Structure 1
């Protein structure tokens, strides 16, 4: 499995979890003890009404809506990487100057390794992708 396929699989998992959470609660926007509010209110057992804890702020900040925006952004980066690789291959295959395209491919490859590093605890993560 290459880094692109690895990322596609992890992004699809993130999307599925976010959509399931939103569906389960009927809301994709989560808030911390927000009144008035729209969406799910997040709290933990140490919460005092009207106040928040670092845990609740973190949970609300990573609500399904945000995860779905991150999914879209990561997929756009993967699409850019594919386009750059295809363009670079086209340029090289036709004997055209490809140094600039190669630079884009290199930069996007580094970007993909950064994205993959967030999934370093996954069993399919390849240590050769480590930064």
Structure 2
């Protein structure tokens, strides 16, 4: 299971539980908005990862330095760290992989 698969499964669970959110926490609307924001973070990580891997694959036949702009690698790293922080909230889950710990 990848960190993305893990987070999507946890977010699915959170979304199903959102209807029971208490008014003191902002209610179901707030809980659903929280899940949606986290999904956007996960999706941006997936997009950045695919983009960078595509750049690497496209440049595999070239000579010279590492394919992809340095800032793109930095952005991918930042998105990965964000995803790892999101996963850390579920560290007690049996499917949590300790290699994701930040």
Aligned length in residues: 95
Higher strand share: 1
- What does residue 46 of structure 1 align with? none
- What does residue 94 of structure 1 align with? 58
TM-score by length of 2: 0.83
- The structure whose RCO (Cα within 8 Å, separation 6+) is larger is 2
TM-score by length of 1: 0.66
- What does residue 72 of structure 1 align with? 36
Contact (CA 8 Å) 1:15, 1:71: kept in 2 or not?
yes
Structure 2 unaligned residues grouped into runs of 5+: 60-66
Greater radius of gyration (CA): 1
CA-atom RMSD, angstroms? 1.7
Q: Which runs of 4+ in 1 moved over 4 A?
A: none
Q: CA separation of 1:89/1:123 partners in 2, compared to 1, >3 Å: closer, same or farther?
A: same
Higher helix share: 2
Structure 1 unaligned residues grouped into runs of 5+: 23-28, 31-59
